[in-house]
Amino acid sequence: MFDYFGSLFAGLAAVLPFSAAGQEPFVFMMVGIAIGFAVGILPGLGGATTLALMLPFIYKMDPTTAFAFLLGSHAVTATTGDITSVLFGVPGEGITAATIVDGHAMAKKGEAGRALGAALMSSLVGAIFGAFALALAIPIVQPLVLSIGAPEFLMLSILGITFLASLSGGNLCKGLTAGGLGLVLAMVGLDAITSVSRYTLEPVLGSQNVLFLWDGLSLVAVTVGLFAIPEIIELGVQGSSIARDTPSALGGVMQGVRDTFRHWKLVLRCSAIGTYIGLIPGLGGGPAQWVAYAHAVQSGGDQTRFGQGAVEGVLGPGAANNSKEGGSLVPTIAFGVPGSVGMAILLGAFIIQGIVPGPDLLNPQKHLTLTFSFVWIIVLSNVVTVAVSLLFLKQLARITFVKGTYLIPFLLLLIFLGGFAVKNSFGDMIVVLLFGALGWLMVRYDWQRPPLLLGLVLGGIADNNLFLTTKIYGMTWVTRPGVIVIGLMIAGALLYPLWQARRQRRIEEGDSASAEGHADNGPKEMGEPSPLSRTLFAGFFVAIFVYVVYEALYGFGAVEKSAALFPLAVGVPSLVLAFLALVQESRAPAPAAVAETAATAAQCALLRRRTAAIVCWTVGFFLMIWFLGFITASAVATLLYLKLGAGEKWGISVALAAVAWIFFFGLFDYGLHLPFPPGELFLRLGIA
């Protein structure tokens, strides 16, 4: 025990600048924090990309300095990614998407400062919780990691989706159908077990055009499409700033900090959720934030507040996002089994440094001091990041009151960059557009987007574990105690919102629609949609699941039956749910008739024209990026939009176009050396 505590304090001394040995690690940790801060704010890059870019610089560093540099840059990306998610509705990285649901809703209400304060402080608490959980777990790590098997993995995946389906108010049918679609999207690509191509649409698109789909759909591309494009459309249609309420809440940063401690039980519970999910290899930050968000909704009382700007919806994901880092280090250090993609890259750093994960890192006579230095690096990195962020939050929050037309071109460029940067593929930019259209339609017709995204996150995990479960356990897996416990939780997640909706209908007779759709916010700029259009959109889901089942039976499933196991397990019940949703939508009452005056008719026509215009500009930005390349298009597209689309003066249009060009060329091309393609025009001219 003395060796244990001695190594704990020696690890702290090794990263503090008060000793000669700690000065170099501290300096490089600060450099890593600065890099991670910038990367976390930019959409699409994320913590794993940061680690990959920084690996070449550690060859000549000692182990403590190397890991201070790497973990310093990695540990803060989830924290700073929340800033972009709150301000613009664009996730700084895929694992900060859950923060958008309520964080960006708060920003639109003029409470960006409060949302940012809550996100940052809960992130700090979660990071400290996860770091000390790592320290406490070291002596007892093995039973924690080995306590869960394939059947429990499978049930946890189902549990996460059913929790999020409760976000649909009383309409579980829609929420579960959306979750089923997310699971289907996770199947796109080559089956991990049989290498059979599934749902890549090769007969339609041609084998050469869908090779990028063999790796599956990019989570970042789907996320920015689903959540960011609808916000861009709304911003363009409304013609206002992101925040449309009064700016009196800009000073609410400390209120957000106080919210963290006012809801301290929720923050600690979500920190524990993030830590445990981080412990489980392969799950990572995506499931952690969504499960934490679902828990915040389930325990938050009136669920209709969520999606409309409930601070609890920011605190839960913020805490889980950062606490999972400490948890994911546990299996990485103890067994060499990465707890996330970032930890898989970190294993490369162990190899570069000549350190073998396992008993040596837990041995006081060898590398236990280095292991404990990881704990302190995570804590110090987040303390520094939050302290610096809090100094500038009021200024950052003011961005939400900047005129929307000034922000739209930059947001569109960042959105397409986020889709492109993961695989350097124009195909993923098309995915952004397609899911942007889907996201806008889901908002308009009151279909919840978070269950779809969680289905995509958990689909691969559920697919692999269903195969392992059936092969190893047969049907006996349903009798395992862990499976039974999780099954009861799933039943509770399904029944609770139904009971709550029934109770609310009794309290508020005649207002049965009050809960529906409140879990997701978005534009309703063209009035309530007609029952026919609602029915047609529900029919779209039915058609998708018909295709899913058909392919599983007569397409790839006819070639390799084991590849059809998960598609059928998802497709058949989802088809039933989609059909029930179709029946519900067809029976929904028509919106109340409103006498249309010449003024309201003109206003509706104006809104439709604005919607069409911003949609055309969104597609136009993609076409200009494809034709001219990112660097040139950043200036040309910005100038054309500001001058022709927004009618701004030449001075401000040219100035902002120059800023866009300097930003993309200086940072991404010159600074980070990202391999941007030159553009189709320059390729054809032979000057690329």
Reduced 3-state DSSP string for 271-309: HHHHHHHHHCCCCCHHHHHHHHHHHHHHCCCCHHHCCCC
Q: In sequence order, which ranges of 588-679 are alpha helices (DSSP H)? A: 598-628, 630-640, 650-663
Last residue of a domain, one of 526, 557, 584: 526
Nearest Cα residue to 88 out of 518, 407, 423, 458: 407
More confident residue, 548 or 323: 548
Residue 623 lies in a domain: yes
CA 3, chain centre distance (Å): 40
Residue 86 and residue 6 share a domain: yes
| Exposure of 327 in the CB half-sphere (CA atoms within 13 A) | 28
Residue 645 and residue 517 share a domain: no
What pLDDT is stored for residue 453 in this prediction?
A: 76
Residues 360, 358: Cα–Cα separation, whole Å? 6
Out of 229-238, 309-318, 431-440, the most confident range is 431-440
Residue 185 and residue 42 share a domain: yes
Residue 505 and residue 604 share a domain: no
What pLDDT is stored for residue 91 in this prediction?
A: 65
Residues 310, 296: Cα–Cα separation, whole Å? 10
Whether the pLDDT of residue 252 is over 60: the answer is yes
Whether the pLDDT of residue 637 is over 50: the answer is yes
Q: In sequence order, which ranges of 445-564 are alpha helices (DSSP H)? A: 450-473, 481-507, 531-554, 556-559
Out of 60-74, 134-148, 239-253, the most confident range is 60-74
Phi-psi region of 490 (alpha: psi -120 to 50; beta: other; left: phi over 0): alpha
Domain that holds residue 332: 2-526
Each residue of 598-629: pLDDT tens digit? 666 677 777 888 888 889 999 999 999 999 98
What pLDDT is stored for residue 248 in this prediction?
A: 44
Residues 32, 24: Cα–Cα separation, whole Å? 12
102, 292 contact by CB (below 8 A) = no
Residue 519 and residue 616 share a domain: no
The tokens describing 163, both together, are 């929790």
More confident residue, 247 or 474: 474
Question: Which residues touch 205 (CB under 8 Å, ≥6 apart)?
Answer: none
More confident residue, 531 or 600: 531
Nearest Cα residue to 417 out of 92, 179, 28, 80: 92
What pLDDT is stored for residue 327 in this prediction?
A: 74
Residue 376 and residue 500 share a domain: yes
Residue 603 lies in a domain: yes
Percent of the chain with pLDDT over 90: 10
Residues 462, 403: Cα–Cα separation, whole Å? 44
What pLDDT is stored for residue 45 in this prediction?
A: 52
> Residue 4 carries which side chain, given as an amino acid letter?
Y
More confident residue, 420 or 525: 420
Each residue of 144-173: pLDDT tens digit? 555 667 787 788 777 766 765 654 445 778
When pLDDT is cut at 50, 70 and 90, the band that residue 654 belongs to is: very high
Model pTM above 0.75: no
Last residue of a domain, one of 503, 526, 549: 526
Whether the pLDDT of residue 523 is over 70: the answer is no
Q: What angle do CA 405, 406, 409 make, to 5 degrees?
A: 85
What pLDDT is stored for residue 338 in this prediction?
A: 59
What pLDDT is stored for residue 441 in this prediction?
A: 92
More confident residue, 596 or 413: 413
Residue 661 and residue 521 share a domain: no
Residues 684, 688: Cα–Cα separation, whole Å? 9
How far is CA 432 from each of CA 11, 219, 240, 415, rounded to the nearest angstrom?
A: 44, 10, 24, 8
Residue 504 and residue 602 share a domain: no
What pLDDT is stored for residue 305 in this prediction?
A: 78
100, 226 contact by CB (below 8 A) = no
What pLDDT is stored for residue 469 in this prediction?
A: 86
134, 71 contact by CB (below 8 A) = no
Residue 547 lies in a domain: no
Residue 263 lies in a domain: yes
Residue 397 and residue 262 share a domain: yes
What pLDDT is stored for residue 591 in this prediction?
A: 62
Residue 134 and residue 8 share a domain: yes
Residue 320 and residue 171 share a domain: yes
When pLDDT is cut at 50, 70 and 90, the band that residue 510 belongs to is: very low
When pLDDT is cut at 50, 70 and 90, the band that residue 395 belongs to is: low
When pLDDT is cut at 50, 70 and 90, the band that residue 498 belongs to is: low
Last residue of a domain, one of 507, 526, 545: 526
664, 634 contact by CB (below 8 A) = yes
How many domains does the chain contain in total? Answer: 2
What pLDDT is stored for residue 144 in this prediction?
A: 52
Residue 389 and residue 271 share a domain: yes
Length of the chain: 688
Each residue of 265-279: pLDDT tens digit? 888 988 888 888 777
How far is CA 485 from each of CA 144, 157, 371, 551, 682, rounded to the nearest angstrom?
A: 17, 14, 34, 34, 60
Whether the pLDDT of residue 434 is over 90: the answer is yes
Each residue of 186-199: pLDDT tens digit? 899 888 788 888 88
Mean pLDDT of the chain: 78
Residue 544 lies in a domain: no
Whether the pLDDT of residue 541 is over 90: the answer is yes
Return the sign of the alpha-carbon dihedral for residues 630, 633, 639, 644. Answer: negative
More confident residue, 3 or 685: 685
Whether the pLDDT of residue 496 is over 90: the answer is no
What pLDDT is stored for residue 524 in this prediction?
A: 47
Percent of the chain with pLDDT over 70: 77
Return the sign of the alpha-carbon dihedral for residues 644, 647, 649, 653. Answer: negative
| Exposure of 29 in the CB half-sphere (CA atoms within 13 A) | 29
Residue 612 lies in a domain: yes
When pLDDT is cut at 50, 70 and 90, the band that residue 494 belongs to is: confident
Residue 328 lies in a domain: yes
More confident residue, 572 or 76: 572
| Mean pLDDT across 11-26 | 81
Residue 556 lies in a domain: no
